[in-house]
């Protein structure tokens, strides 16, 4: 029970807190640039910390890094509920992202080391996406009901105390990596390069449609928010289903790439493509984690790289698609995104390695 609280309720609370500030960004900064900086600071911190968090998990154990990540999350959440100066908020959001990155890398490593990791990873990824949705919706609702715009942030910071406390009663599933085996990073990057590429592209696609759609569609913010939420709900459903089917990872990623090609083009004509993208993203994440489960003694590094490349995709693909949309039009931006997904179909098969036998 204590392990479940730390892992599953922990990822829910961390993700909910990360999104709780989004509906109330105008209360923290007046300009769009500062609001964007506050929003992006979290992802910068998470991007920079997930790989170090994974490496430290292998060296010192997953549980201590989980505790550190949760402690940072709680502290930064409490600070965000009282701070008002934009630049102070940006700094704390960056620190919150560091805590989130540490926790995600260590917790994913812990989950993927369990005997029933496929089913558990389904629960983990489902609650990750559920936290993002609930944090966004509930904090927005609280802001409309209460005079304090930071009420939602305070609520989720308080909820984060529960997994933080429970983490002190969680034990390691296995011994940490021996001192002579810390040179796994470069071999992992090299041997699994096409898997990392698939994470950058297929996870990054969710960010592309999310960033392009508000201007492209002309829909109201409320309507766009509903479709984005439906994409997350579709991801929740697909990770729960895919985690119980024991699908072959490479084949699953390959055909999910084709689904993403179709879904991206459907989304150009209809927001129903959001649901298809959510389904594809969920299946891909479970297949990728199943593939990486073979790296028995270096789960921290593997999960750190997986999280880092996923964040990288969310950072660079929307930016590139936005440049294409501005220069040549939205149709070409959607086509270029679909073409990127198609490349995964041809490259993922090159990643049939058995690295755990050589490390």
262 vs 231, residue with greater confidence:
262
Half-sphere exposure of 319 (CA within 13 A, CB side): 7
Euclidean distance between CA atoms 14 and 53, whole angstroms: 15
**Do 137 and 201 belong together in one domain?**
no
- 53-57, 172-176, 198-202, 253-257: least confidently modelled range: 172-176
pLDDT at 154: 93
pLDDT at 221: 59
CB 273, CB 265: distance < 8 Å: yes
**Do 219 and 344 belong together in one domain?**
yes
**Do 31 and 130 belong together in one domain?**
yes
CA-wise closest residue to 51 among 109, 7, 6, 133: 109
**Do 161 and 197 belong together in one domain?**
no
**Do 85 and 222 belong together in one domain?**
no
Q: How many residues does the chain have?
A: 359
With a cut of 70, say whether residue 3 has pLDDT above it: yes
Mean pLDDT of 5-33: 84
Percent of the chain with pLDDT over 70: 91
With a cut of 70, say whether residue 178 has pLDDT above it: no
Euclidean distance between CA atoms 35 and 100, whole angstroms: 20
136 vs 225, residue with greater confidence:
136
Mean pLDDT of 184-190: 80
Residue 145 lies in a domain: yes
**Do 162 and 192 belong together in one domain?**
no
Summarised one tens digit per residue, pLDDT across range 61-101 is 888 999 999 999 999 999 998 888 889 999 999 999 999 99
Instruction: Give the Cβ contact number of residue 336 at 10 Å.
Output: 18
Tokens of 352: 């049939």
**Do 88 and 11 belong together in one domain?**
yes
- State the DSSP H helix or E strand holding residue 243, giving kind and residue range, or none if neither: none
- State the DSSP H helix or E strand holding residue 340, giving kind and residue range, or none if neither: helix 330-347
Q: Work out how many domains the chain is built from and give that number.
A: 2
| Residue 42 Cα distances to 4, 54, 92, 191, 232, angstroms | 25, 18, 8, 30, 19
**Do 139 and 285 belong together in one domain?**
no
CB 356, CB 294: distance < 8 Å: yes
Residue 179 lies in a domain: no
153 vs 178, residue with greater confidence:
153
CB 96, CB 73: distance < 8 Å: yes
Residue 280 lies in a domain: yes
pLDDT at 179: 47
pTM for the complete prediction?
A: 0.77
With a cut of 50, say whether residue 355 has pLDDT above it: no
Burial code of 53-85, b = ≥16 C-beta within 10 A, e = fewer?
bbbbbbbebbbbbbbbbbbbbbbbbbbbbebee
Confidence of residue 212 (pLDDT cuts 50, 70, 90): confident
Q: What is the CATH number of the domain that holds 329?
A: 1.20.1250.20
124 vs 172, residue with greater confidence:
124
Half-sphere exposure of 91 (CA within 13 A, CB side): 7
Q: Which domain holds residue 13?
A: 2-167
With a cut of 50, say whether residue 359 has pLDDT above it: no
**Do 139 and 288 belong together in one domain?**
no
Tokens of 197: 């590429």
Summarised one tens digit per residue, pLDDT across range 289-318 is 888 877 766 777 888 888 888 888 887 888
**Do 163 and 203 belong together in one domain?**
no
With a cut of 80, say whether residue 112 has pLDDT above it: no
Summarised one tens digit per residue, pLDDT across range 127-169 is 988 898 888 888 888 888 888 888 889 999 999 999 998 888 8
Confidence of residue 38 (pLDDT cuts 50, 70, 90): confident
Q: Tell me which of 120, 135, 167 is where a domain ends.
A: 167
Residue 251 lies in a domain: yes
pLDDT at 51: 87
**Do 13 and 162 belong together in one domain?**
yes
Q: Tell me which of 104, 138, 167 is where a domain ends.
A: 167
**Do 160 and 198 belong together in one domain?**
no
Residue 177 lies in a domain: no
Q: Tell me which of 137, 167, 197 is where a domain ends.
A: 167
Residue 343 lies in a domain: yes
Please name the residues in contact with 184: beta carbons below 8 A apart, sequence gap of 6 or more.
Answer: 58, 177, 295, 297, 298, 301, 359
Residue 18 lies in a domain: yes
pLDDT at 180: 44
CB 267, CB 277: distance < 8 Å: yes
With a cut of 60, say whether residue 352 has pLDDT above it: no
CB 282, CB 242: distance < 8 Å: yes
Mean pLDDT of 237-266: 90
Euclidean distance between CA atoms 109 and 117, whole angstroms: 10
Percent of the chain with pLDDT over 90: 30
Instruction: Give the Cβ contact number of residue 157 at 10 Å.
Output: 24
pLDDT at 155: 93
What phi and psi, each to the nearest 5 degrees, are found at residue 297?
A: -95, 0
């Amino acid at each position: 029970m204590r392990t479940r609280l730390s892992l599953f309720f922990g990822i829910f609370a961390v993700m909910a807190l990360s999104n709780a500030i989004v509906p109330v960004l105008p209360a923290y900064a007046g300009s769009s640039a500062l609001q964007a900086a506050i929003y992006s600071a979290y992802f910068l911190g998470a991007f920079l910390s997930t790989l170090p968090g994974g490496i430290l998990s292998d060296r010192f154990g997953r549980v201590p890094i989980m505790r550190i990540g949760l402690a940072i999350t709680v502290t930064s959440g409490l600070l965000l509920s009282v701070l008002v100066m934009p630049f102070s908020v940006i700094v704390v959001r960056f620190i919150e992202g560091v805590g989130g990155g540490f926790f995600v890398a260590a917790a994913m490593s812990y989950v993927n080391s369990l005997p029933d990791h496929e089913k558990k990873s389904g629960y983990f990824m489902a609650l990750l996406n559920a936290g993002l949705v609930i944090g966004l919706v509930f904090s927005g609702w609280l802001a409309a009901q209460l005079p304090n715009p930071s009420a939602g942030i305070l609520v989720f910071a308080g909820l984060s105390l529960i997994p933080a406390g429970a983490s002190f009663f969680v034990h390691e599933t296995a011994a940490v990596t021996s001192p002579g085996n810390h040179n796994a990073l470069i071999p992992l990057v090299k041997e699994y390069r096409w898997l990392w590429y698939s994470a950058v592209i297929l996870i990054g696609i969710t960010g592309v449609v999310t960033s392009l759609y508000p201007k492209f569609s002309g829909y109201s913010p409320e309507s766009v928010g509903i479709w984005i939420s439906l994409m997350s709900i579709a991801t929740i459903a697909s990770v729960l289903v895919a985690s119980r089917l024991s699908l072959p990872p490479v084949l699953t990623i390959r055909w999910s790439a084709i689904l993403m090609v179709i879904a991206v083009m459907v989304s150009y004509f209809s927001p129903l493509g959001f649901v298809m993208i959510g389904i594809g993203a969920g299946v891909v994440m479970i297949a990728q984690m199943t593939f990486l489960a073979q790296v028995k003694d270096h789960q921290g590094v593997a999960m750190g790289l997986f999280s880092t490349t996923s964040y990288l995709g969310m950072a660079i693909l929307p930016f590139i698609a936005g440049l294409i949309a501005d220069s040549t039009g939205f149709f070409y931006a959607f086509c270029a995104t679909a073409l990127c997904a198609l490349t995964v179909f041809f490259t993922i098969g090159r990643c049939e390695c058995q690295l755990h036998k050589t490390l």
